A and B are shown apart, each in its own frame.
Chain A
Amino acid sequence: MAEPDWDRMMQAAQAGDADSYRRLLGEVGAWLRRYYHRRLPPAMVDDAVQDTLLAVHEKRHTYDPARPFGAWLGAIARYKWIDRLRAMKSHPSVELDENLPVPGHEEAVSSAVSLERLLAELKPAQADVIRLVKLQGFSIMEASHRTGQTMSLVKVNIHRGLARLSAMIRSRNDAG
């Protein structure tokens, strides 16, 4: 996934070369944007990209020059992805993005496809309520009416479904 130069640029950055670092972060930022567009609702992408860039900065000393930069970056991106999924549990819903169809339409579609693929691995009752509440912005009560589940069950299924998603992601060595 990584450009061959990334290893070299990161080594230069660890030595204090700000120009290499700026160039590297620019390329990494673009890569992260593509990465999260395939894995998160569009409204969460900007935050995830910047959070990961900050993590890359804070933890740059943990990059071992003897090992590939791509694996290091991929592991951090995945960790922050799981963080976002966990955060979805504590927020009522993801804000609906009014500009969804405008410039990022293609990426939004691919995001939906990837999320859909992940959701398909959950129990239907869990996937249904996550789609309704977390992705489409319905309230717990509305989701309860639509699915026939009690409100408590909707909450339980969201919680368990998101936990299951996190576990599925962690168990896969998905760096790309």
Chain B
Amino acid sequence: MPDELLPDDLLIDRLAADLKPVRPRTNGRDGLLVGALCILELALFLLTGAMRPDMPVAMHHPSFWWKLTSLGLIAAVSGTASVVSFHPAGSPRRGIRWVLAIVLACLAVGWGLDSGRAGWAALDARLDWRHGVQCLVKMLLLALPAVAGLAVLMRRGAPTDRSGTAWSVGIAAAAWGAFVFVFACPSDDPLYIAFWYMLACLSVAVVSRLLLPVLARW
């Protein structure tokens, strides 16, 4: 907001005098930047030897592919919605609705995969609190590069629905962090995955929703 009102003509003269050439932002370039950052993070993560040792066996479990495709899909859709909403005329709302539908569909598939298991009796053992908290912390850390990258682009862009965009960014980054963690996570129990992964994603999304609208105010 201008501190002191000038006549419009004077303000316009000042803005024109301050004009410097700029490179127009495009959704495609922002998408490529985010994609490159995410791929780099995944590559570095795998290069550190963090991949689960029983990966060949895990790849035969439907639940491994369930968590990988679910999180990849959620990250892709919410990431796209985020980048689109960095343009003033773009809205994240439709993308968020799609993401919610995908999450519900993924949970339904997970429920189907879980139906053959022992049931809810061993809930405490299945949720495995000690390992669950460790997984939660790792997913939060793995979400940080994507949150930071998307936050920089959000701040540089001109989102006109800052709270919606912040939700979208938080969901995208959280889903990506969880996607990367899938390669290290030793559990293929759908209940464990649904609980701890959703908790991690919700945590990142809520913190993003609280912080990013303030950081990206314009």
Do A and B pair up? The answer is yes
Using a CB–CB distance below 8 Å, which chain A residues touch chain B?
Answer: 13-16, 18-19, 21-22, 25-26, 29, 46-47, 49-51, 53-55, 57-67, 71-72, 74-76, 78-79, 170
Residues in B whose Cβ lies below 8 Å from that of A19: 16
Partner of B17, one of A18, A58, A76: A18
Residues in A whose Cβ lies below 8 Å from that of B6: 50
Whether A64 and B26, one on each chain, are in contact in the complex, defined by CB atoms closer than 8 angstroms, is yes
Given A51-B2, A62-B157, also A29-B12 (CB < 8 A): yes
Beyond A62-B24, A76-B160, list 16 extra A-B contacts (CB 8 Å): A14-B21, A16-B19, A16-B21, A18-B16, A18-B17, A21-B15, A26-B8, A47-B2, A50-B5, A50-B8, A51-B2, A54-B2, A57-B15, A59-B88, A62-B158, A72-B88
Closest chain B CB from A13 CB (angstroms) = 7
Whether A26 and B12, one on each chain, are in contact in the complex, defined by CB atoms closer than 8 angstroms, is yes
Considering the complex, which residues of chain B in the window 19-47 have a beta carbon less than 8 Å from any beta carbon of chain A? 19-27
Given A54-B2, A75-B88, also A59-B218 (CB < 8 A): yes
A11 to B13, alpha carbons, bound, how many Å? 18
Considering the complex, which residues of chain B in the window 93-126 have a beta carbon less than 8 Å from any beta carbon of chain A? none
A64 to B84, alpha carbons, bound, how many Å? 12
Judged by a CB distance under 8 angstroms, whether B89 is at the interface is: yes
Using a CB–CB distance below 8 Å, which chain B residues touch chain A?
Answer: 1-2, 5-6, 8-9, 11-13, 15-27, 86-89, 157-158, 160-161, 218
Residues in A whose Cβ lies below 8 Å from that of B13: 22
Whether B87 and A64, one on each chain, are in contact in the complex, defined by CB atoms closer than 8 angstroms, is yes
Closest 10 CB pairs of A and B: A16-B21, A75-B88, A61-B22, A79-B160, A22-B16, A75-B89, A59-B158, A62-B158, A25-B12, A57-B15
Whether B21 and A64, one on each chain, are in contact in the complex, defined by CB atoms closer than 8 angstroms, is no
Whether A63 and B24, one on each chain, are in contact in the complex, defined by CB atoms closer than 8 angstroms, is yes
Given A61-B22, A76-B158, A79-B160, also A47-B5 (CB < 8 A): yes
Partner of B25, one of A15, A49, A62, A75: A62
Whether A49 and B8, one on each chain, are in contact in the complex, defined by CB atoms closer than 8 angstroms, is yes
Whether A25 and B24, one on each chain, are in contact in the complex, defined by CB atoms closer than 8 angstroms, is no
Given A15-B21, A60-B22, also A25-B16 (CB < 8 A): yes
A50 nearest CB neighbor, chain B only: B2
A43 to B65, alpha carbons, bound, how many Å? 60
Closest chain B CB from A6 CB (angstroms) = 14
Residues in B whose Cβ lies below 8 Å from that of A61: 22-25
A14 to B19, alpha carbons, bound, how many Å? 8
A57 to B26, alpha carbons, bound, how many Å? 17
Whether A57 and B88, one on each chain, are in contact in the complex, defined by CB atoms closer than 8 angstroms, is no
Whether B19 and A50, one on each chain, are in contact in the complex, defined by CB atoms closer than 8 angstroms, is no
Closest chain A CB from B38 CB (angstroms) = 22
A51 nearest CB neighbor, chain B only: B1
Whether A47 and B1, one on each chain, are in contact in the complex, defined by CB atoms closer than 8 angstroms, is yes
